[in-house]
A and B are shown apart, each in its own frame.
Chain A
């Protein structure tokens, strides 16, 4: 079963992932019954340790922890240690001294959560909230949860679901975690990008690869559009935003290529007019706001399971209230 840390989506078995999603579903139900707060993690200390600004992810975790009654400390480490602020190690030792039961870390360096978990600096659980261009496992879990609600009526796995992930796969931790997790859950994943934005060796990934979004869209149940950063132009990954948008952006014309019931996901924040047009972003087929809501439930489930809660307990507590 799910271990002490959540570092990578690759570490989750299908059973682990389904259990997290089921737990998130239970928690969503409890929250819907307007029980905003469960006592499960009362007296436990959860730290959000963010070396990169990401208000939306931090708030989502913070809300999740507070709804489980944990004490939450937000630790915004200014500047990464690359810019010679306080080192990751010293920060970790500080958090350990404060008795953190779980540390939720966002860091610009791939692998930083691994160091935090494995260097012997702290005892508590480590949750990866996005590390460099490596992984963002809770994003993948909330995406899977959203997909499952729409495509599989909110239960089981995603066997046979067809999902395209479009955009800067090379630099995307969201893509890495999603490819791994969706595959584990049985989905068929296709990554779509210009060849410059695909990682070396992508053909060995458990997914299909395409350079042509128009070929792929007619055959998907869902498409996930990734944010494209303007600075990629400076690296000659593509000529300019306009060309990118024309070749890989999702607009109404392209959305019409998709089967009628297919949905559109985006991890946010969106660049309207670049990878996604305003019409698509605001259409009923875009489930972006739902993803945000689901993020809180999934993160509650992760904290709950990592810090030792049991679903049976949850049922009782939910019923009592």
Chain B
């Protein structure tokens, strides 16, 4: 474990190249290129070096649905995507609503050893929305849970939501809300719009998301508790959050790569690979989300990586499961979308789409801020001597053509099959050890 590693000539945050020396689990030194030596050298010439990415919203499916994903396969997908930490959502079977289950997930993550697996605890017992789960026991467990969410389902009962927000203050927890009014979305199949009307698919109105967010920011302000809004998908939600932040309300928010890139028009193919919760929205929503990511209204990009086995997508739209893979494509999409020039992000990519990528912003959106919201001390640290060496090293000189079969995830439900995304993850260091070298698992 004492072998030192030299990351040669990488560009931290896309800036001037340096040599980064790692000893043990920490960055030991940052030196001028060509001046440092170590036992092992990882070439990072021309590459962007970022703090290891932190996903606040990942479905690893274990325990219970191991045919879709396991903690091991999900960890591999995460590492290959540049992540050094993922938050495993609670909607497993059994549900992660007790200290026992969250500790099991946490231990399995350590055994896999590719990323920090931080379990998210359920807010309510069995995600049933009736009774608070043992939030304190999960917080005090070895897994030290800080993020609580019934994701997949909305904590709809306003009183229960209030109590959850209040209760987690005792251990500086955060409630991550899946904002979806269940009555307004009964049977909903896609964004409610002119298109849903024409396709005859039951609509999922924007107001079903926005009304819950409006209620929750007011509750958060009233209780003085931290609220995190999962997968914001509409322009109206952005406005509500912007208003709440302007009032100093304690709210953070995330957007997913797919909501930053894809629009509802894809649904007219009736191909369920585009079926996701919340649904793909209008172009105007995508543009509002991009602006919100750039101006800080949205704090983080989170994947909502949601693996599903083939049979759950190889069917008619109404029968299909909701969700998309995201871990291995998130950074390439972010590189296109998070730019200094707001207009230069484009859907069809190419390597020069990343000339104006704002790497400082990506480090904030995909590492520093999610680590802060999730209270993960060892993640999202600055690239400087003394920091834990969690690093993602990204090569902008290549392109990646996405293929479901080539992804490490056990499932293949990527909506980006055939897309060419800019760049590729070249190396990843997890707590000072390489988890990915030259684009493959170390």
Please report A residues at the B interface, Cβ cutoff 8 Å.
80-82, 87-89, 107-112, 114-115, 118-119, 131-135, 173, 176, 199-202, 204-205
Contact = CB atoms under 8 A, between A and B. Distances in A.
A-B pairs, 4 with minimum CB distance: A111-B270, A201-B194, A199-B197, A134-B200
B193 interface: yes
B284 interface: no
B316 interface: yes
A248 B431 CA distance: 70
Given A109-B319, A204-B194, A89 B199 contact: no
A214 B195 CA distance: 30
Most A CB within 10 A of own CB, among B189, B195, B200: B200
Interface residues of B, number: 24
B319 A82 contact: yes
Contacts of B270: 110-112, 114-115, 118
A107 B316 contact: yes
Nearest to B318: A109
Interface in B137-193: 189, 192-193
B319 A200 contact: no
B318 A132 contact: yes
A315 to B, nearest CB: 38
Given A199-B197, A200-B194, A201-B197, A108 B315 contact: no
A81 B196 CA distance: 22
A156 B53 CA distance: 65
A81 B315 contact: yes
A110 B315 contact: no
A176 B197 CA distance: 9
A48 B311 CA distance: 24
Contact of A200 (B196, B269, B271): B196
Nearest to B197: A199
B311 A87 contact: yes
Contacts of A132: 200-201, 318
Contacts of A112: 270, 316-318
Given A176-B198, A201-B193, A111 B315 contact: no
A133 B198 CA distance: 9
B121 interface: no
Given A115-B270, A134-B199, A89 B314 contact: yes
A200 B200 contact: no
A252 to B, nearest CB: 33
B202 to A, nearest CB: 8
Interface centre among B196, B269, B319 (most CB of A within 10 A): B319
A240 to B, nearest CB: 21
A115 B20 CA distance: 52
B203 interface: yes
29 contacts: A81-B319, A87-B311, A89-B315, A109-B317, A110-B199, A110-B201, A110-B270, A110-B318, A111-B316, A114-B270, A115-B270, A119-B271, A119-B314, A131-B200, A132-B318, A133-B201, A133-B202, A135-B200, A176-B198, A176-B200, A199-B198, A200-B203, A201-B193, A201-B194, A201-B195, A201-B196, A202-B197, A204-B194, A205-B198
Contacts of A119: 271, 314
A18 to B, nearest CB: 24
Given A87-B319, A109-B316, A200-B193, 8 more contacts: A87-B314, A89-B315, A109-B317, A110-B200, A112-B270, A112-B316, A112-B317, A118-B271
Interface string B51-69: 0000000000000000000
Contacts of B202: 133
Contact of A82 (B195, B196, B201, B318): B318
Nearest to A10: B198
Interface in B314-355: 314-319
B317 A88 contact: no
Nearest to B189: A110
Nearest to B202: A133
Contacts of A202: 197
B200 A133 contact: yes
A32 B270 CA distance: 41
Given A119-B314, A201-B194, A111 B319 contact: no
Contacts of B314: 87, 89, 119
Contacts of A80: 319
Contacts of A115: 270-271, 315-317
Given A87-B311, A111-B270, A135-B200, A81 B193 contact: no
A132 B319 CA distance: 12
- Quick one: which of A80, A112, A118 has the most chain B CB within 10 A? A112
Given A87-B311, A114-B269, A114-B270, A200 B316 contact: no
Given A118-B269, A134-B199, A176-B200, A88 B192 contact: no
B197 A110 contact: no
A53 to B, nearest CB: 18
Interface in B201-225: 201-203, 205
A80 B189 CA distance: 17
A107 B314 CA distance: 16
Most B CB within 10 A of own CB, among A107, A115, A133, A135: A115
Contact of A88 (B195, B269, B315): B315
A81 B192 CA distance: 24
B198 to A, nearest CB: 7
B168 to A, nearest CB: 36
Nearest to B314: A89
B234 to A, nearest CB: 14
A204 to B, nearest CB: 5
Contacts of B194: 200-201, 204
B308 to A, nearest CB: 14
A199 B203 CA distance: 9
A107 B197 CA distance: 18
B197 A81 contact: no
Nearest to B192: A200
A112 B189 CA distance: 14
A111 B201 contact: yes
Contacts of B199: 110-111, 134
A205 B263 CA distance: 21
Contacts of A134: 199-201
B317 A111 contact: yes
Kindly name the residue among B189, B197, B203, B205 whose own CB sees the greatest number of chain A CB atoms within 10 A: B197
Contacts of B201: 110-111, 132-134
Contacts of B319: 80-82, 87-88, 109
